[in-house]
């Protein structure tokens, strides 16, 4: 049974969610192990809007990771666009649901099933709407188009909201985003470097994870 407050506290504590997409099952497992060794405790496995792999295959991967890392790492589902995907992810053991947008039916189904909701939003109106629907965190997306000052500007009138900067965050600007008011980040290729994965260099993945977790600890 998912403990919502435990998950919320874990996100606030660890502050780095690593986004995994486009990996085979074996690559996913080895990458997760490598990231765990580097200190990562939050991982997002994404659905594919083009259904390749299928939603069922993605849910199976979430289930595999949730079981393998139970009590060690929190696994969530990403690119969740429909309530049916929320249900699949919940059955697979996902702890949180992340979306690129703020669909009311997705947020409400997430909360109905007792999971933590992290929808995507960009403008103040979108952020407020998502929060009113029941979001626990707001994923600022696409953050890669923004400067940290944008989150600072949002945070001034919307200080009751928890913002995650997703996209465009690296080791050089991570501290700036956190100082601006982000409570965490979402990151993909900065840690899951596909070249390292293809080369089987999982120690390299561990090192990238360690650099980010150490940098975050300084924020």
44 annotated active-site: yes
26 is catalytic: no
Angle among Cα 219, 68, 4 to the nearest 5 degrees reads 55
- Given 26, 91, 139, 194, the catalytic residue: 139
Q: Which of 26, 44, 56, 176 is catalytic?
A: 44
Q: Which residues are tagged catalytic?
A: 44, 139
């Amino acid at each position: 049974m998912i403990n919502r407050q435990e998950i919320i506290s874990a996100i606030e504590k660890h502050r780095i969610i690593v986004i995994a997409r486009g990996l085979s099952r074996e690559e996913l497992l080895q990458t997760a192990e490598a990231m765990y060794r580097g200190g990562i405790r939050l991982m997002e496995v994404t659905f594919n809007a083009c259904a390749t792999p299928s939603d069922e295959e993605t849910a199976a991967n979430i289930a595999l990771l949730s079981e393998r890392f139970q009590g060690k790492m929190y696994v969530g589902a990403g690119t969740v666009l429909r309530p049916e995907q929320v249900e699949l992810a919940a059955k697979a053991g996902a702890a949180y649901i992340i979306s690129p947008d703020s669909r009311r039916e997705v947020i409400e189904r997430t909360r109905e099933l007792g999971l933590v909701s992290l929808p995507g939003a960009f403008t103040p109106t979108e952020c407020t709407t998502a929060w009113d629907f029941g979001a626990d965190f707001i994923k600022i997306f696409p953050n890669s188009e923004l400067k940290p000052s944008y989150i600072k500007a949002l945070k001034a009138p919307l200080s009751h909201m928890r913002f995650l900067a997703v996209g465009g965050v690296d080791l050089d600007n991570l501290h700036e985003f956190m100082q601006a008011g982000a409570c965490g980040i979402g990151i993909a290729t900065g840690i899951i470097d596909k070249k390292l994965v293809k080369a089987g260099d999982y120690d390299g993945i561990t090192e990238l994870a360690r650099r980010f977790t150490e940098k975050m600890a300084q924020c």
